[in-house]
Amino acid sequence: MISQIEGLPAGTLGFRAHGQVTADDYESIIVPDVEAAFALNRKLRLLYVTAEDFTGFDPGAMWNDAKLGARHFSGWDRVALVTDVPWLRVTAATFSFAIPAQVRLFHAAEIEQATAWITEASDG
């Protein structure tokens, strides 16, 4: 299940993953929010948090994530991933070089720092 993180500034989206994330979670929550935000903004920032009860992604969810990322490949300004899940941290670190955005990993205890970083003004 995916829930929205409220209270972020315009141009910044936040999502929290709970339990097993499914393709339907992407289609019903993430995709509409991302598409609506890109209709208003050239660049977006993303805060993605895995909750303590996060268990993983269904294959369909991973495919939808890849499709969404490819569709807006150069549209991301910053991406903050907040997780203590070892395989997710390794995967994100391994592939972050391929994303044309600033990508930072944070541990669950660093949620406040991640939120501050994703919402701070750009360097230039």
pLDDT by residue (tens digit) across 22-76?
988 888 888 888 889 888 888 899 999 999 999 998 877 776 666 666 666 667 8
Distance CA 79, CA 44 (A): 9
pLDDT over 90 (residue 18): yes
Q: How is the chain split into domains, by residue range?
A: 2-119
Q: Residues 72, 74, 75, 81: is their CA dihedral positive or negative?
A: positive
Provide the percentage of residues in the chain whose pLDDT is more than 70.
88
* pLDDT for the residue numbered 69: 63
* pLDDT for the residue numbered 35: 86
Residue with token string 């097993």: 20
Cα dihedral 64, 108, 87, 52 in deg (nearest 10): -70
pLDDT over 90 (residue 80): yes
* pLDDT for the residue numbered 73: 63
Distance CA 53, CA 28 (A): 20
* Confidence at 91, pLDDT banded by 50, 70, 90: confident
Domain 2-119, architecture per CATH: 2-Layer Sandwich (3.30)
pTM of the model: 0.88
* pLDDT for the residue numbered 99: 78
Distance CA 70, CA 115 (A): 24
Average pLDDT over the chain reads 87
Residue 93 contacts residue 118 (beta carbons within 8 Å): no
* pLDDT for the residue numbered 89: 93
